[in-house]
Structure 1
Amino acid sequence: MSIKVARASVSDAEEILPLQKLAYRSEAEIYNDFTIEPLAQTLEELRQQFDNHVILKASMDGTIIGSVRAYDQDGTCYIGKLMVHPNHQNKGIGKLLMNAIEELFPASRYELFTGSKSERNIALYEKLGYGVFKERLITSDFSLVYFEKKSS
């Protein structure tokens, strides 16, 4: 199994968006909310993100099986939409994508967030050296957990 991580192009959006909707379905199920932004995002919105984000793709045999996006603002690299096809999760692809995006942004600081009930995401980010620096309550039983990591 050879995984290739490369910069995605706008033409990859049509393959990334269905992957995003598939990968984020498990998140929606955790929170019983199928209106979350990754599921609601349109193809046009994703295409527009190529203007101000670096979007990476992880491919195997020519098929995109993972992706992540990020942008830099004032010395902080904001990372989002880390996704891996459900059939390929827990094989180190998320870690590969995270390492690749961090290498592209030798920023002084990295920031990302996930839902407070997303235990697999939280475990991955902690394993990669991220620590919680704030939590934002969204509803009485749901909050976003914000992680940061300083570059070494």
Structure 2
Amino acid sequence: MIHIRKMHPEDAEQVIRLSSAARIQVYQDLISADRRAAFMDSQSTDLAMLSKKIRQLQNRLNDTSKMTLVAEEDGSVIGYCAATVGENAVYLSNLYVHPKHQGKGAGKLLFAALKKHYPHKSMRLHVVGENARALSLYEKLGFKKIESRPSTYFGLSRILMEASADIDFSL
């Protein structure tokens, strides 16, 4: 059974490793060959890079304008979402589920838990335009496309999406 909770500092390494695995699965075939090596380097979990990413993620937990949730199954972190809370909206900056655990509903559960924390706020996110699977999920959850723009993320496009404050993500 999948359980959603706030992230703890000791979850940081699992979160970084799962987000790296998920990004590689999604983006490696979307990024042009001339940019792929730089992308793969950015996903490195070697000791120096891992330590830096762990510190950054743990520092995020002390920021009261941020919310980071994890999806846990059988004692392992299988997904997470990170959001910044604004006056009228919650901006989702990351949502990843480990490739081995996708399709179990962890992403929807993370959305529902985030909405439960902020029931009167709309939700916004950016999604890579070439990521058809994520676009489909967000549209099924009630998000609408607001604008599209070029991205600095390895040459991929970026779409801003929003779900109104009255949207219900509960299952």
Cα offsets for 1:45-72 (capped at 9, x unmatched): 2122212221111111101101111121
Task: Name the CA distance, whole Å, in 1 between partners of 2:58 and 2:132.
Answer: 30
Q: Which amino acid aligns with 1:39?
A: Q
SS at match of 2:39: coil
Assess if the C-alpha contact under 8 Å between 1:75 and 1:109 holds in 2.
yes
> Do residues 35 (structure 1) and 48 (structure 2) align?
no
SS at match of 1:70: strand
Assess if the C-alpha contact under 8 Å between 1:69 and 1:101 holds in 2.
no
Task: Give me the TM-score of the superposition, normalised by structure 2.
Answer: 0.79
RMSD: 2.0
Q: CA deviation at 1:18?
A: 0.8
Task: Name the CA distance, whole Å, in 1 between partners of 2:147 and 2:134.
Answer: 16
SS at match of 2:43: helix
Q: CA deviation at 1:118?
A: 0.3
Judging by fraction of residues, say which structure has more strand.
1
Task: Give me the TM-score of the superposition, normalised by structure 1.
Answer: 0.89
> Do residues 150 (structure 1) and 164 (structure 2) align?
yes
Q: Residues 81-100 of structure 1 correspond to what in structure 2 (within 5 A)? A: 81-100=94-113
Match of 1:125 among 138, 145, 168: 138
Q: Residues 50-65 of structure 1 correspond to what in structure 2 (within 5 A)? A: 50-52=61-63, 53-65=66-78
Task: Name the CA distance, whole Å, in 2 between partners of 1:23 and 1:107.
Answer: 30
Q: Which amino acid aligns with 1:50?
A: L
Q: CA deviation at 1:10?
A: 1.4
Aligned structure 1 segments of 4 or more residues deviating by more than 6 angstroms: none
Assess if the C-alpha contact under 8 Å between 1:115 and 1:142 holds in 2.
yes
Q: Residues 70-109 of structure 1 correspond to what in structure 2 (within 5 A)? A: 70-109=83-122
> Do residues 115 (structure 1) and 119 (structure 2) align?
no
Task: Name the CA distance, whole Å, in 2 between partners of 1:10 and 1:117.
Answer: 33
Q: Which amino acid aligns with 2:53?
A: T
Task: Name the CA distance, whole Å, in 1 between partners of 2:31 and 2:133.
Answer: 14
Task: Name the CA distance, whole Å, in 1 between partners of 2:149 and 2:71.
Answer: 31
Residue equivalent to 1:13: 12
Cα offsets for 1:74-119 (capped at 9, x unmatched): 2110112111110111221111111111111124311001111000
